[in-house]
A and B are shown apart, each in its own frame.
Chain A
Amino acid sequence: MPLALVGREGRRRVLLSVDLAARKLGLRPGIPVAKAQALYPDLVLMDADPEGDRLGLEKLALWFQHRIAPIVAVDAPDGLVLDTTGADHLHGGELPMLKDMVHRMAGAGFRAKAVVADTWGAAHAIARYGRAPIAIVPSGGTDSALADLPLEALRLPSTIIEGLATLGVARIGPLAAMPRAPLTLRFGPDVARRLDQAFGRIGEAIVPVRPVDPVEVSRNFAEPIGAAETIARYIGKLVPLLCQGLDERGQGVRRLDLLLHRIDSRTEAIRVATAMPVRDVKRLTRLLCEKIETIDPGFGIERMVLIASLAEPMDRRQTVSSLIAEEEADVSDLVDTLANRVGTQALYRFAPVESDLPERSFCRVPALAPEETKDWPDHWPRPTRLLARPEPVQAMAELPDQPPLFFIWRGVRRKVKCADGPERVFGEWWKNDAELTIARDYFRVEDTSGERFWLYRAGDGEHGETGSQGWFLHGIFG
Chain B
Amino acid sequence: MTAELNKKSGLETLRAAISRLEGHSDRRRKMLPFGVREIDSRLPGGGLALGALHEVAGGGNDALHSAAAGQFCAGIAARTRGKVLWIVTRQDVFAPSLKQVGLSARRTIYVEAGSDVDVLACFEEGLRHGGLGAVVAEVARLSMTASRRLQLAAETSGSLGIAIRRWRRQTDAADFGQPTASVTRWRVSVLPSVPLPVPGVGRPRWLLELIRARAGECADFEVEACDAKGRLAPCSPIADRLSLPAALADGSDQEAAGQRRARA
Kindly identify which residue among B74, B93, B132, B204 contacts A452, using a CB–CB cutoff of 8 Å.
B204
Given contacts A382-B94, A385-B70, A477-B204, is CB(A349)–CB(B193) below 8 Å?
Answer: no
A478 touches B118 (CB 8 A): no
- Chain B CB within 8 A of A346 CB: yes
User: With A and B bound together, what is the CA distance between A266 and B107 in angstroms?
Assistant: 45
Chain A CB within 8 A of B106 CB: yes
Q: Which of B104, B201, B225 contacts A418 (CB 8 A)?
A: B201
Within 8 A of B (CB), among A324-350: 326, 328-331, 333-335, 337-338, 341-342, 346-350
A331 touches B132 (CB 8 A): yes
Report if A378 contacts B (CB, 8 A).
Answer: yes
Of all chain B residues, the one with the shortest Cβ separation from A342 is B113
Q: How many angstroms from the CA of A478 to the CA of B70 in the assembled complex?
A: 7
From A22-30, A108-116, A368-376, give the one contacting chain B: A368-376
Instruction: Report how far A348 CA is from B85 CA in the complex, Å.
Output: 10
Judged by a CB distance under 8 angstroms, whether B237 is at the interface is no
Is B65 close to A, CB under 8 A? yes
* Cα(A450)–Cα(B204), bound, Å: 9
The answer to whether B100 touches A342 (Cβ under 8 A) is no
A357-394 vs B, Cβ < 8 Å mask (1 yes, 0 no):
01001100001000110011010011111111000000
Chain A contact residues, majority secondary structure: mixed
| Known interface pairs A334-B132, A385-B65, A420-B200; A346-B112 also in contact (CB < 8 Å) | yes
Contact of B225 among A419, A449, A478 (CB under 8 A): A478
In Å, the complex CA distance between A388 and B122 comes to 24
Report chain B residues within 8 Å CB of A446: 192-193, 201
Interface hits, B55-107 → A, CB 8 Å: 60-62, 65-72, 74, 81-83, 85, 92-100, 104-106
Given A347-B110, A372-B106, A418-B199, residue A362 in contact with residue B66 (CB < 8 A): no
- Asked if B53 is an interface residue, CB under 8 A from chain A, the answer is no
A residues within 8 A CB of B100? Answer: 378, 381-382
Q: Is A7 an interface residue (CB 8 A)?
A: no
The answer to whether A351 has its CB under 8 Å from any CB of chain B is yes
In the bound complex, do residue A384 and residue B74 qualify as a contact, i.e. CB atoms below 8 Å apart? Answer: yes
A444 to B67, CA, bound (A): 14
Q: CB distance B193 to A450 under 8 Å? A: yes
Name the residue of chain A whose CB is nearest to the CB of B72.
A478
Q: Which of B83, B93, B111, B129 contacts A328 (CB 8 A)?
A: B83
CA distance A358 to B92 in the complex (A): 12
* Bound complex: CA A337 to CA B111 (Å): 12
Does chain B have a CB within 8 A of A476?
A: yes
Do residues A384 and B201 form an inter-chain contact, with CB atoms below 8 A? Answer: no
Residues in B whose Cβ lies below 8 Å from that of A328: 81-83
Contact B131 A329 (CB under 8 A): yes
- CB atoms of B131 and A331 under 8 A apart: yes
Minimum distance in angstroms from A421 CB to a CB of chain B: 9
> Are B72 and A329 within 8 A (Cβ)?
no
The smallest beta-carbon distance between B67 and chain A, in angstroms, is 4
Q: Quick check: A384 and B118 within 8 Å, CB to CB?
A: no
A477 touches B112 (CB 8 A): no
Minimal beta-carbon separation of A352 from chain B (angstroms): 7
Q: Which residue of A lies closest to B66 (CB)?
A: A385
The residue that B110 contacts in the complex, of A348, A361, A450, with Cβ under 8 A, is A348
How many whole Å from A349's CB to the nearest CB in chain B? 6
Contacting residues, chain A, for B131 (C-beta < 8 A): 329-331, 334
Task: Kindly provide the distance from the CB of A100 to the nearest chain B CB, expressed in whole angstroms.
Answer: 16
Q: Which among A349, A351, A476 is the interface contact of B109 at CB below 8 angstroms? A: A349
CB distance from A357 to the nearest CB of B (A): 12
B172 sits at the interface (CB 8 A):
no
B190 and A337 contact, CB distance less than 8 A? no
A451 at the interface (CB under 8 A from B): yes
Q: Which of B81, B94, B99 contacts A375 (CB 8 A)?
A: B99
Is A103 interfacial (CB 8 A cutoff)? no
Query: B112 contacts A342, CB within 8 Å?
Result: yes
| A461 at interface, CB cutoff 8 A | no
A478 touches B92 (CB 8 A): no
Interface contact A362-B95, CB-CB below 8 Å: yes
Q: Residue A59 at the B interface, CB < 8 A?
A: no
Judged by a CB distance under 8 angstroms, whether B130 is at the interface is: yes
Which of A334, A358, A417, A444 is close to B94, meaning CB atoms less than 8 Å apart?
A358
A475 within 8 Å of B by Cβ?
yes
- Asked if B36 is at the interface (CB within 8 A of a chain A CB), the reply is no
Chain A residue nearest in CB terms to B196: A418
Q: Would you call B251 an interface residue if the criterion is a C-beta within 8 Å of the partner chain's C-beta atoms?
A: no
CB pair A350–B81 under 8 Å, yes or no, is: no
- Nearest residue, chain B, Cβ from A450: B192
CA distance A153 to B235 in the complex (A): 74
Look across to chain B and name the residue whose beta carbon is closest to the beta carbon of A361.
B96
Task: Please determine whether B96 and A452 come into contact, CB atoms closer than 8 angstroms.
Answer: no
Measured in the bound complex, the distance between the Cα atoms of B75 and A421 in whole Å is 25
A347: nearest residue on chain B (CB-CB)?
A: B111
Q: Are B70 and A349 in contact (CB under 8 A)?
A: no
Closest CB in chain B relative to A327 CB, distance in Å: 10
Which residues from A are CB-within-8-Å of B106?
349, 371-372
Q: How far is it, in angstroms, between the C-alpha of A444 and the C-alpha of B131 when the chains are bound?
A: 38
20 A-B residue pairings within 8 Å (CB atoms): A328-B82, A330-B131, A331-B83, A334-B129, A338-B111, A342-B112, A342-B113, A342-B118, A346-B114, A350-B105, A367-B109, A375-B99, A375-B104, A382-B96, A383-B67, A385-B93, A418-B196, A418-B201, A419-B201, A478-B68
Q: Which residues of A contact B (CB under 8 A)?
A: 326, 328-331, 333-335, 337-338, 341-342, 346-352, 358, 361-362, 367, 371-372, 375-376, 378, 381-388, 417-420, 444-446, 448-452, 475-478
Other than the known A338-B111, A445-B201, what 17 A-B pairs have Cβ atoms closer than 8 Å? A333-B129, A338-B125, A342-B112, A346-B114, A349-B109, A362-B94, A383-B67, A384-B74, A384-B97, A384-B98, A418-B196, A419-B200, A419-B201, A451-B60, A451-B190, A478-B204, A478-B225
